[in-house]
Structure 1
């Protein structure tokens, strides 16, 4: 922009200098020439897109070269003073107008910059608010230790799956998983190790169950597994595969490596089931039978 301004300034200076020839060759229209120069001066300051100080210097050169030309051509001192006042009038008006426009533009730019800053801060605040809302939703629906669905959330999903199963006449199996001898883990290795075991089992469930399956934490060392589109025999296969993965998992706790097993009681949704409590109770009965039968097994309740 500096190079452009200087180039335009050279052109303007050359133009003013050349324009003085009209005083020599057309002395009969001196007044018209002066009016044109005044228009050039104010136009230079207001409309020519160059830096203000460059334009002002060019305008002052135009005033100077006009006065010098008129002096050389024999204009009286009184007329030169009058001409100076006359030529300075468009310079003052043009300079004042340009300064006011520049001030208004700077103020508008500052306002625009401030508006952009505020909008950016609002956008960042909105992003933080959305992230916070998502976090609150997650905290409201998940167990903080394992990241699995908490009771409130899995009961809501359970009701939804019951309704969907009945509308589509599709099977829905339910499993209750309980870790074997978990109290011994806490007593031997401490509750921190017990928490690590619970997180490990939750991760095994997430990685080895189907995408449509729903896993929640009942409480303590018990988990609930909802298996849509899965009859009780398919759930049995799925449960046994899950138990093998749990049994093969190793949890490092301080200096000890902990292995854990689990027992699963499985049942399915029947037409006359009145609520989730009935289904969970039936799965619990199967779980306790599995515990009594030696643990680390899947027990099915078909009635």
Structure 2
């Protein structure tokens, strides 16, 4: 059914690895006690296997293709963008002319894989040489495993988009506003799907304009760089940090049980002051606003707005002291 093809799926970004998908497919076939599982990518005229489970009895290797003109399960899954379960292929008249018959395939379960914009990427499927009777829980399981693949596609798509824009702020070498918006929204989407907690810090340098007026923009730029370096050195690698513009900075943090946001904010403030002192720069303070993700449908723009409002309230309160 699938014919060998030397055109392999290429990794378009270092952040993305087919090794993770291979582990997912191997785990799926083990859980289903099935001889074969695949991730199949759709093109205009063919369906190509880009990941194949590693059992010896699996009849189809990576790179094998099937024509889009063939009566194959993957084509129906992609066309309908819906799961397809055929427990007894030889007794279903719809598949009597399918090339699966001659290859001995007797059972198929597959779900569609989509890019973030909803366009079909391909299928995530498992096949067996015998009739099957999968319980609803197994069908739900394959959907959950498929979701992991779609999460990777979303991340891959984000990096592809960022190749088209200037990703970093040229002064501070952290994310600029556009990259920050893109990556942070993706992080919130993952949080909604996987159930982890997220919070946003909105950071503003107090009395930054007088600093520029009194000492010049070169000193002001050094202070901005020092704050960016403070954030990179204080926060975790998995946290997303960026500069909105001027002296406004943002950090999107994945919060674990036991994390103390107050401690993190105090550490940012103290480390920033120490860094300024070590560079011989004037002493500055920070106003830091905080907002936790209130509900799973909240956008990054909404979360950022709440953190900005909290920062403004704290800045005004400090002026009244």
TM-score (norm 1): 0.48
Q: Which has the higher helix share?
A: 1
TM-score for the superposition, normalised by structure 2? 0.46
**Larger % of strand: which?**
2
Greater radius of gyration (CA) = 1
